[in-house]
Each structure stands twice: as C-alpha cells, then as structure tokens.
C-alpha cells in the first residue's frame, strides 16, 4: 500500500458506516499497515457496524475500529486473557454499543463471554455460545435487553434469585442446546414480555417434548411466533394445544417440528380446530398430526381467515376428501399445503388458478404422494383454468403440456371428449356452488392420456 493510497482512504473514511473484515488474502498485511501509520489512532470515525470475521491471531488490530459511534459489533477470537482485557474497554470506547454477537473459540463454559458483557449495561441484542450462571443472571437484570441468542445454557439453580428478570426481553433463540435445560430457563424469564421463541436441540439429543414442558410457556401471553424442534417428536395432547391456543391468542406463526419425521404423534385434527377457534391472527402453521380421524360435523364450525400456509410433514391421512373439507371449513384462506416426501424431502403442493384467482387447497393421499384423489376448493361459480400443478414427486399423470384444449360442453361428462378435452393435467373446471365447495377433480383427467 502506497502513501497515496492511505491518504485517499483516510479522506473517504468518514463516509464508511459499515465494515466487514474477513480472511481475504492480504488482510493481515493491510491491518499491519493501518496500525503502522495510525498507531493508537482511529481510522473510521463514523463507523456504525463492524463485522470482525478475521480468524487470524492479530486480534489486537480490532481496536483501530472501535469508533464512538459504533452500535453493532460482531467478532470471533480466542478466549485469551489478552483479548478479554482488550474488549473490557468497549463500554468506554464505544458508548453507543447496543448489539453484540461474539464467538470465543473453546469457551464452552461461557467465562470469556460473561467477562465481556459485564461492563456493557446498555446492551439490547446479545448473541453468544454460552454464559456462566452469573452472566445469565446479570443480563437478566439489564433493563434494555430485547433479543437473546445462546447455544448452551448454564446450570440454572432450582431457586431463581428473582422473578423479575429480563424485563424487556422480546425474542429468544436457543439454538443447539440441550432441550432438557430449556424449561428452567423459561421459568427464569417467566415475567418477560416475550413475543418470539425459537428452540432447537443439539444433534445428540433424544428428548421428546411433553405437555408439562409446553405448559411452561403459557405465561407468555404476548407470544406471536413460536418454533420448537423436538428430536423425538411431541408427546402432547389436543387438550394441551387447546390450552395453548387460549394462552397465545396473538400467535401468528406456530412450528412444532421434529428431527425424525416418522415419529408417532398423538395430536389429531381436533388440535387444528382449537387453533382456528382461538388464534385468529395465525398465518403460518407447521406441525404433524394424525388426520385419520375427522372430527364430528356436529362440532360448530369456527372459521379462521388469516392462515395461508400449512406444513403437515408426515401426517398420516385416510380420507383426503374429508380432511380437505374440514380444513376448508376452519381455514377459509388456506392456499398452500406442504408435505413430506417418502425420502424425507419437502414438496410444495401449489395449485395456481388464473382467471378469477380462486383461493384453493390441494390434498393428496397421503398429502399428495401417489394419490388418485385431488381436491380443489373454489369460491364462485364459473369456469376456471387450472394450470401448473407441481407436486415435486414423480407425477401420477403425464407430463404437463403448454397447450390447453377447450371443453366443448361445460355440462358434458369430462370423459366425453377423451384426449381432446384435456391435455395432461390442464383442465376447465366448473364449480356447482357459489359458496366455498369441494369438487373431486380426479375424474377430469383422461385415464388413457
């Protein structure tokens, strides 16, 4: 680097607000040059965001970028006393620092991470691999902490020192943790105004989430998003889901997923009825349930208008038509159902409608896998052009063609025209009712085509 290059850089440095330092060839030489020409100086006076993804041993160079305007810091380094001492000055050099994401190599007990956060009383967002028990209690007393992400939880005492911890916490992500320790953590923050919870297990966990674990979360009445992953499925009942729906009436997204997709599940379609009844804001749903038994039609129909997509994973199904009718009745705007393929791959069953842009759902057996019964739901009377039916698996019907031949007589039997009436899976469908209705369209496809 020439002197002219450095002079030019300094002249533009005040304009730089966001900076990322990585392991690119020459990074160490450039950092050494900065340090040589600016010993103890500050290069970027107006820096707001710093991403230190440089894995070299020269972590000391990071202090050249500690601007008084810095508000968002991400870094990775060794958990050495030298590095911890260097970072201990953050509260003074970066008084506006609010978001910290740190990764210390081999800091399995969270000692280094906890040492760094103690001098930071105004943190709003924190991401770390682990914290000590004392460190977790410390951030729990911060009045500003809104977002927290941890990969390992410390040992939390049975007697929680205070019930008013995490007064401002809104979002929690526990990614890769031992899920058996999660219930005690959520007891610790039972007074927090949580809105979003994400919990994923470690790879070697064999835990199955049960009713009592889910009920611990009922205290978070402001919850809008909940994502729980249980390695061995969910041993929860429809009654628990009913109570959860009443506790989380503001829920917009619910995901109850499992690492092993073929784990038996005790939930039934009745749980969906409870969600439709109490969670009027629910827009996205992902869970596995036993759909072989359809609830009695004597149950009053509760319609939910917001749910647009549903992931049913490997839910068992016996009567596709009955299930489709049930889902149509309680979720009037459901457009997409995603199922799990036989090779544990997801496939999106999207039926796109042109012309009147009718809302629809499509259900196979089981959920679109080698099914002979396809179900379409429309809103108005008329002829609708159905096109581009994508299942993501080897199709039951011949490949899709680009052309569509018209139906000679809308009142004639679909098989009357033979191959000339339908080109592969493209068809004109006539709905017989103006209200929402289910129409069996499997017979629209020529058996000989």
**For the chain, domain boundaries:** 206-334, 348-449
How many CA atoms within 13 Å lie on the side-chain side of 198? 11
- Using left for φ > 0, alpha for ψ between -120 and 50, and beta otherwise, residue 412 falls in beta
Indicate if the pLDDT at residue 118 is higher than 70: yes
The pTM of this model reads 0.75
pLDDT one-digit tens code per residue, 305-340: 999 888 888 888 888 778 888 888 889 888 878 877
Contact 449, 422 (CB under 8 A): yes
pLDDT one-digit tens code per residue, 237-277: 999 999 999 999 999 999 998 877 666 778 999 999 999 99
Pairing of strands 346-353, 375-378: unpaired
CA distance linking residue 426 with residue 385, whole number of Å: 8
Q: What confidence tier does 78 reach under pLDDT thresholds 50, 70, 90? A: very high
Q: Residue 99 CA to chain centroid, in angstroms?
A: 21
Classify burial at 320, counting beta carbons within 10 Å of its beta carbon; exposed 0-12, middle 13-18, buried 19 or more.
Answer: buried
């Amino acid at each position: 680097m020439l002197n002219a290059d450095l002079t030019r850089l300094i002249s533009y440095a005040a304009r730089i607000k966001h900076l990322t330092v990585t392991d690119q060839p020459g990074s160490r030489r450039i950092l050494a040059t900065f340090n040589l020409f600016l010993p103890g100086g500050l290069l970027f006076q107006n820096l707001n965001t710093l991403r230190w993804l440089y894995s070299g041993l020269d972590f000391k160079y990071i202090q050249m970028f500690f601007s008084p305007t810095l508000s968002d810091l991400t870094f990775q380094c060794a958990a050495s006393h030298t590095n911890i001492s260097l970072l201990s000055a953050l509260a003074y050099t970066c008084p506006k620092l609010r978001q910290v994401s740190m990764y210390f190599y081999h800091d399995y007990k969270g000692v280094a991470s906890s040492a760094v956060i103690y001098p930071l009383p105004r943190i709003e967002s924190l991401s770390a691999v682990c914290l000590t028990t004392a460190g977790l209690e410390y951030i729990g007393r911060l009045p500003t902490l809104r977002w927290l992400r941890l990969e390992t939880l410390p040992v939390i005492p049975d007697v929680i020192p205070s019930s008013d911890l995490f007064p401002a916490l809104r979002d929690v992500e526990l990614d890769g943790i031992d899920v058996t320790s999660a219930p005690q953590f959520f007891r610790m923050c039972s007074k927090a105004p949580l809105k979003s919870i994400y919990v994923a297990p470690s790879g070697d966990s064999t835990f199955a989430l049960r009713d009592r674990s889910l009920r611990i979360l009922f205290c978070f009445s402001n919850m809008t998003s909940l994502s729980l992953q249980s390695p061995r499925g969910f041993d929860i009942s429809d009654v628990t889901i009913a109570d959860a729906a009443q506790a989380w009436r503001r829920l917009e997204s619910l995901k109850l997923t499992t690492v092993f997709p073929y784990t038996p599940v005790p939930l039934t379609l009745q749980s969906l009825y409870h969600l439709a009844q109490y969670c009027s804001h629910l827009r996205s749903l992902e869970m596995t349930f036993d759909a072989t038994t359809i609830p009695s039609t004597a149950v009053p129909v509760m319609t939910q208008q917001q749910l647009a997509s549903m992931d049913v994973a490997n839910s068992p199904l016996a009567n596709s038509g009955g299930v489709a009718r049930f889902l149509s009745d309680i979720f009037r705007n459901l457009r997409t159902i995603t199922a799990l393929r036989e090779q544990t791959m997801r496939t999106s069953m999207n039926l796109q409608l042109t012309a009147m842009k009718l809302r629809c759902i499509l259900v196979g057996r089981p959920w679109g896998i080698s099914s002979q019964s396809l179900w379409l739901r429309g809103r108005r009377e008329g002829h609708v052009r159905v096109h581009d039916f994508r299942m993501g698996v080897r199709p039951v019907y011949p490949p899709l063609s680009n052309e569509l031949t018209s139906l000679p007589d809308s009142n004639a039997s679909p098989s009357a025209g033979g191959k000339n009436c339908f080109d592969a899976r493209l068809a004109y469908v006539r709905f017989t009712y103006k209200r929402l209705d289910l129409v069996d369209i499997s017979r629209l496809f020529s058996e000989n085509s």
